């Protein structure tokens, strides 16, 4: 489990996360940037393949990272982390959701895996320079 402070590689669940288009859904996120005094940078996880490859690892040209399910890396199912674009979360928004018990830390990825995901994100075209600075 993650320590009480948020750190790179933490997996958190957000109930009724609100997207930019107003839609809401329960989502898992992986935290990739957690610098004190800055916004958080996270990516959404999905278990729906939607024509994505089952080859594990970085698929930066297509904007995702695949984690094989049931291999000890938190996710019991095959999971695709949607890297492009990543989600920039303000600490205030995250704290508000945590206090409302809408968000909770569920686990932590291995450091090597978290770094591989971060490195993959750096290769994606739909990631701004400002977002990369949050890593």
Asked whether residue 4 is assigned to any structural domain, the reply reads no
Percent of the chain at pLDDT > 70 equals 96
For residue 105, say if its preceding peptide bond is cis, omega within 30 degrees of 0: no
Q: How confident is the model over 64-101, as pLDDT tens digits?
A: 999 999 988 999 999 999 998 899 999 899 989 999 99
CB crowding 70-94: b at 16 or more within 10 Å, else e: eeebbbeebbbbbbbbbbbbeeeeb
Full residue range of the structural domain in which residue 28 is found:
11-133
Asked whether residue 128 is assigned to any structural domain, the reply reads yes
What are the φ and ψ backbone dihedral angles of 132, each rounded to 5 degrees? -65, -30
Asked whether residue 70 is assigned to any structural domain, the reply reads yes
pLDDT, residue 72, reads: 86
**DSSP percent split of the chain into helix, strand, coil, nearest 5:** 20, 35, 40
pLDDT, residue 85, reads: 87
Give the start-end residues of each E strand in the chain: 10-18, 24-33, 40-46, 57-59, 64-67, 79-89, 103-108
Distance (Å, rounded) from C-alpha 118 to C-alpha 67?
14
Q: Does pLDDT of 2 surpass 80?
A: no
Q: How far is CA 114 from the centre of its chain?
A: 10
**Taking all residues of the chain, what is their mean pLDDT, rounded to a whole number?**
92
Q: pLDDT-derived band of residue 4, with 50, 70 and 90 as boundaries?
A: very low
Asked whether residue 113 is assigned to any structural domain, the reply reads yes
pLDDT, residue 20, reads: 84
Asked whether residue 6 is assigned to any structural domain, the reply reads no
Q: How confident is the model over 11-39, as pLDDT tens digits?
A: 999 999 988 899 999 999 999 998 888 99
Asked whether residue 125 is assigned to any structural domain, the reply reads yes
pTM for the full predicted model: 0.91
Asked whether residue 2 is assigned to any structural domain, the reply reads no
Number of domains forming the structure of the chain: 1
């Amino acid at each position: 489990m993650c320590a009480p402070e948020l750190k790179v590689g933490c997996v958190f669940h957000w109930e009724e996360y609100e997207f930019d288009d107003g839609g809401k859904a329960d989502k898992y996120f992986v935290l990739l940037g957690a610098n004190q005094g800055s916004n958080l940078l996270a990516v959404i996880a999905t278990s729906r393949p939607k024509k994505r490859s089952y080859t594990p690892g970085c698929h930066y040209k297509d904007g995702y990272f695949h984690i094989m399910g049931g291999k000890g890396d938190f996710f019991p199912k095959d999971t695709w982390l949607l890297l492009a674009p990543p989600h920039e979360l303000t600490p205030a928004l995250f704290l508000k959701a945590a206090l409302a018990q809408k968000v909770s830390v569920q686990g932590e990825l291995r450091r090597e895996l978290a770094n591989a995901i971060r490195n993959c994100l750096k290769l994606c075209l739909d990631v701004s320079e400002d977002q990369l600075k949050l890593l």
